[in-house]
C-alpha cells in the first residue's frame, strides 16, 4: 500500500494504530488538535501534508441513540450544528456552514454503520436532536473544521470514529471509561481491514 496519513485530535487516539500499521506501511501520524477551533487552525497545514496521499481521520464520538458499548462507525455527511442551534437558543447562517458531503467509504470500511456527524464548538449536555434520523447521528468536535480541506487535497479521505458514549450529562464519564478501549478497537480494525483490502 502507498504511504498514508492517520489524523486524530490527540496522539493517544492513534498511537496503537500507528504501532500496528507501521510494521507494514509508511504512516504519517498527525494531530488536528482538540476541539473545533484547533482543528480549524490546523486544517490548511493538514491538507498540505495529506496532498496526494490516502488520509484517515480517527477519533471518538457520542451517539444521539442509546449507547451500551463502544463500536465503530464511518460517515459520508458532516454538519455544523452547535447545541444552542439544536435547542432553538440561537440560529446560524446556513450559507456559512454548509453540510459537507464526503466520498463513499473505501472498501475496507464499508461494513461499518454510516452515521451523520454533528459538530459544534463544545460537548453537548442535552441530547435532544430534532431530526427524523437522530438515532443515526453522532457528535464530534473536530471533524467539520478540517474535513473539507483534507478531502480536497488527499487522494482519498476516510473517517473512522468510535462511539464511546451517549450525548448527554454522562458523556464525559462514559468517554473516560471507554477511550482506551476505543483506541484499541480502532487499531485492531485498521490492522485487520485497511492494509489487507487496499
pLDDT at 190: 95
d(CA 50, CA 30) in angstroms, rounded, equals 10
pLDDT at 1: 61
CATH number of the domain enclosing 134: 3.40.50.1580
Could you state, in chain order, the average pLDDT of each consecutive group of 10 residues for the chain (198 residues)?
A: 89 95 92 98 98 96 96 97 92 91 94 97 92 90 98 97 97 97 97 77
Q: What letter does residue 9 receive in the DSSP assignment?
A: S
Alpha helix ranges (H) inside 65-194: 83-86, 143-153, 171-189
By the 8 A CB rule, do 65 and 135 touch? yes
Q: Grid coordinates in use for 158?
A: 476516510
Q: Grid coordinates in use for 187?
A: 487499531
Q: Give how many domains the chain has, as a whole number.
A: 1
Domain that holds residue 149: 4-197
**CB neighbourhood size of 91 (10 A):** 8
Coil, strand or helix at 108: helix
pLDDT at 24: 86
pLDDT at 173: 97
By the 8 A CB rule, do 72 and 160 touch? yes
pLDDT at 197: 59
Rounded to a whole number of angstroms, the CA Rg of the chain reads: 16
User: In terms of C-beta density within 10 A (0-12 exposed, 13-18 middle, 19 or more buried), how is residue 55 classed?
Assistant: buried
Amino acid at each position: 500500500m502507498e504511504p498514508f496519513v492517520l489524523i486524530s485530535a490527540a496522539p493517544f487516539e492513534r498511537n496503537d494504530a500507528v504501532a500496528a500499521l507501521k510494521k507494514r506501511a509508511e504512516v504519517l501520524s498527525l494531530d488536528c488538535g482538540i476541539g473545533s477551533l484547533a482543528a480549524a487552525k490546523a486544517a490548511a497545514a493538514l491538507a498540505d501534508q495529506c496532498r496526494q496521499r490516502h488520509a484517515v481521520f480517527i477519533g471518538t464520538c457520542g451517539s444521539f441513540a442509546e449507547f451500551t458499548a463502544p463500536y465503530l462507525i464511518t460517515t459520508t455527511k458532516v454538519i455544523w450544528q452547535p447545541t444552542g442551534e439544536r435547542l432553538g437558543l440561537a440560529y446560524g447562517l446556513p450559507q456559512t456552514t454548509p453540510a459537507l458531503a464526503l466520498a463513499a467509504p473505501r472498501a475496507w470500511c464499508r461494513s461499518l454503520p454510516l452515521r451523520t456527524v454533528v459538530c459544534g464548538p463544545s460537548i453537548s449536555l442535552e441530547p435532544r436532536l430534532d431530526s427524523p434520523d437522530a438515532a443515526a447521528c453522532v457528535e464530534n468536535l473536530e471533524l467539520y473544521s478540517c474535513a473539507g480541506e483534507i478531502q480536497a487535497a488527499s487522494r482519498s479521505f476516510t473517517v473512522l470514529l468510535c462511539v464511546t458514549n451517549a450525548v448527554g450529562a454522562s458523556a464525559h464519564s462514559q468517554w473516560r471509561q471507554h477511550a482506551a478501549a476505543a483506541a484499541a478497537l480502532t487499531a485492531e480494525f485498521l490492522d485487520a481491514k485497511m492494509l489487507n483490502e487496499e
